[in-house]
Structure 1
Amino acid sequence: MNVDELVRDSLREQAAEQPPLEPGFADRVLNVRRRRRTRRMATVAAATAAVVAVAVAVPLLESGKDEVRLASEMNKSDIIAHPDQSPPRDLIAAGDVALAAYYTNDTVKTSEDTKVQQRTYRILDQRNGKYVKDDRWSMVSVAPGMRTAAVLERNLPVKRIGLLDLLTGEVDRWIPVERGVAGIEFSSDGSKLVATTYSENPDLLTRQDYDLDGDGKKNDYEPDRSSSHRTGFYVVDVDTGQADWSEVVTDNQDGIVNSRQDFAFSDDAKFVYAGLTMEPNQQFYDLKGNEVPAPPNEKYLHWFVQARLSPNGKLAAGDFAGGAKTTASEIVDPYTGKRLHKVRGQQLLAWVDNKRLIAWDITPGDSEFHNALVLVTIGSDKTLPLSGARKGSDLSADRWDPVFATR
């Protein structure tokens, strides 16, 4: 009997003496243990030699049977960077955080007066560590450990949620729901999903009779900002598939909610929140759909700053520390909103640890749209490039946006 089996048996013995735990609890503990063991073995790569090769997933003999190791686990380097690649082709990671997928946007005409903005995802293939196009999905959220992704099919809203195996590329299980879903997001521990429900596709664009983009031509397309088609959210238990829906009535007379304004979990997953286009910038709800005050440590966060809280909860990612072309962002006290640090970075995307973050950044003097993924460190003005720079404007079809997950 190996160590993992001993741990599993011990957990089961403890469970027999205590109230029942959630299904799959022991397996989740073991998965966390394996990831931590992998991280302890990691070697810190020098900043000047950050580009490293990605290992291919291979069979590993354990427990008397073949177990496949994921590409994101096989390369134990602290930094895995490809500053010559944009969009990325090979695994990018820093510390425990990896680029699990990315997507590009395209606009597809659906009728004479309507178009739909669609995402096309490139998801990390855990067999070889490369990003592979998968145009089956309209929305993708990757669970911690990067073995599973929650996916939604095309033609939103949809009435089932898929759990995609990132090693095989096949859906392991479908979770049916009664109301149409158009957004999904995992909790930080991967045990739950929040699925945002809409009565119509939130990415629908309608033709306007005025010149929206200033190109001298009318008949531009834009989202309907006069009303919101968001109806509420499901909280889904990933192990059991139990999905509990809560209604959220959205009054959008002042355009305070974007046409797509999905819910996400609070840091402790006791609440969900969604962004607002004006102060207080976000609204929190309990898991029954009742409005609640923001948790004390998330009161000063902004929904559009993706990084949010540091792993130890003592720091929060803030907004720009200047204008649109700035290369600096704020780190604030999550309880007071007071600025504690200023770091390089146009937009803070994910915490790597309590001192480092992944951000979009631009070369000073370059276009604000020509930004690359970089590693920034509190207390340092230096950055470490992780990807090549994006080109074009926000509406360019080849412009890519990242999806991060813990590896």
Structure 2
Amino acid sequence: MNVDELVRDTLREQAAELTAPGPGFADRVLAARRRRRTRRLASAVAAATVVVAIAAAVPLLDTGKEDVRPAAVLDGSGVLAHPDQSPPRDLIAAGRSVLAAHYTAQPVEGPDGRAVLTRTYWLLDPRTGKYEEDDRWSFVAVAPGARTAAVLERELPARRIGLLDLATGRVDRWITVDHGVGGLAFSHDGRRLVATTYREHPDLMVRMRDEAGGVAWVRQFGGTSSRSGFHVLEVADGRGTWSPVAERRDVNGRQDFAFSRDGRLVYAQVVGERDGMQQFHDLAGTPVPAPAEERHLRSDVPARLSPDGGLAASGLTAEAGDRSWSAIRDPRTGEEVARVRGGHLLAWADDRRLIAWERAPGPGEYRPRLVLVTLGSEKVLPLSGVREPDESSGTVEWEPVFVERRP
């Protein structure tokens, strides 16, 4: 057996037995590397072990400087980038955030002559670090830690919610509900679900005729939502309550609820020019003012509050050529305290870095890619390849789903 064969067989055996490393894994790996360099020993089997431990390491941004650190699949804190992949096939992560899934959506016309914007998901397999297509689900929400997902079957509104084990691809348990569900979101601690209820499919589309006389499918906009309320459910036992929500004309066909940071309220986007474009409700469904720390957030900026709650991601504030800047605000006053590269802020990697969509360099049409950006630096680190524009009418190009990765 030659060295290549030995390394390959060793990797295969270790991959079959691989489990998530425990706390201090990164320090142990680095210490082991230092000892090996000191002793200047090498062997094929030892080399295979090192490959398994550190193959995921890539450059890490820290206020403009680069570092290299090992990263585990889900409980690490390093950066895993694949700037040659769009949509991603292999794990993308940075700091506390991991790309847990991505999806596309396109209109599918039914026998009744109506169309539904239908999603297809690619879900992260936490054992392999790869995204696998799973066309069983109309909607997927991934829990913090990226090991479990809440799923809805194809027919919406759905009368049951599945809890999917992302490693096995099997539904461990179903939660039945009294009101049909169209959207899902986990609480910040992952212990509860808010399930938005609708009287009919929230992704119905209507035909529109353009100036040239062509016909296209477009999503339903303000004033046409069938949203009826929301369930708040305990993930552990499926118990919970349903709260009705009054109809309003400033919501779109799909306008799902999500939890506030502390889980005491829920909020959803509203249509209009008012600051933040968000309306909060208490858990009984009554509209209430926004909590102080979320008053100046925008519902269309997914990153929202920094991990320590001290900064608020805000919207696009400046563009120049192929560079964009978004505002970072004081969450309690709304005052702009910094600007950061990126046209659309998606998730916080830590209290100084964010994952964003940013325009790829070069002239021409808007072609975004996922990047890691840092407060106080104009440098960007590409995480994905460029998302090419799709000319298909009504089609949604691949959209990322980020969650917090936890031990």
- Give the TM-score category using the shorter length: 0.7 to 0.9
8 A Cα contact 1:205 1:224, kept in partner: no
After superposition, residues 29-108 of structure 1 pair within 5 angstroms as 45-47=58-60, 71-73=73-75, 76=76, 78-108=78-108
CA distance in 2, matches of 1:42, 1:248: 53
Corresponding residue number in structure 2 for 1:109: 109
> Is 1:287 the counterpart of 2:300 in the alignment?
no
- State the TM-score, normalizing by the size of structure 2: 0.80
Corresponding residue number in structure 1 for 2:301: 305
1:216 Cα deviation from its structure 2 partner: 3.1
8 A Cα contact 1:114 1:221, kept in partner: no
8 A Cα contact 1:369 1:390, kept in partner: no
| Mean CA deviation greater in 363-372 or 270-279 | 363-372
8 A Cα contact 1:202 1:229, kept in partner: yes
Corresponding residue number in structure 1 for 2:10: none
CA distance in 2, matches of 1:365, 1:172: 47
8 A Cα contact 2:60 2:78, kept in partner: no
1:170 Cα deviation from its structure 2 partner: 0.2
CA distance in 1, matches of 2:176, 2:234: 12
| Mean CA deviation greater in 105-114 or 229-238 | 105-114
Deviations 1:91-143 (A, max 9, x none): 00001210000000111011353100011000001221100000001111111
Match for residue 247 of structure 1 among 224, 244, 247? 244
Deviations 1:322-377 (A, max 9, x none): 36976110001101111111110010000111000000001355456310110000
Structure with larger Rg: 2
Match for residue 349 of structure 1 among 346, 368, 377? 346
Corresponding residue number in structure 1 for 2:14: none
Change (3 A) 1:271 1:388: same
8 A Cα contact 2:185 2:195, kept in partner: yes
Q: Any stretches of 5+ residues in structure 1 without a counterpart?
A: 1-33, 56-70
Change (3 A) 1:155 1:37: farther
Change (3 A) 1:143 1:112: closer
CA distance in 1, matches of 2:84, 2:68: 10
Corresponding residue number in structure 2 for 1:319: 315
1:393 Cα deviation from its structure 2 partner: 4.4
| Mean CA deviation greater in 128-137 or 139-148 | 139-148
Deviations 1:17-74 (A, max 9, x none): xxxxxxxxxxxxxxxxx8865677798853498999997xxxxxxxxxxxxxxx434x
Change (3 A) 1:219 1:72: closer
Corresponding residue number in structure 1 for 2:53: none
| Mean CA deviation greater in 349-358 or 360-369 | 360-369
Change (3 A) 1:39 1:164: farther
8 A Cα contact 1:54 1:91, kept in partner: no
1:243 Cα deviation from its structure 2 partner: 2.3
| Mean CA deviation greater in 274-283 or 181-190 | 274-283
SS in 1 for 2:140: strand
8 A Cα contact 2:71 2:77, kept in partner: no
Aligned CA-pair RMSD = 2.7
Match for residue 296 of structure 1 among 267, 292, 295? 292
> Is 1:201 the counterpart of 2:201 in the alignment?
yes
CA distance in 1, matches of 2:27, 2:258: 30
1:316 Cα deviation from its structure 2 partner: 0.2
Match for residue 258 of structure 1 among 252, 255, 266? 252
Change (3 A) 1:357 1:149: same
- State the TM-score, normalizing by the size of structure 1: 0.80
8 A Cα contact 2:221 2:251, kept in partner: no
> Is 1:406 the counterpart of 2:400 in the alignment?
no
CA distance in 2, matches of 1:131, 1:364: 27
SS in 1 for 2:293: coil
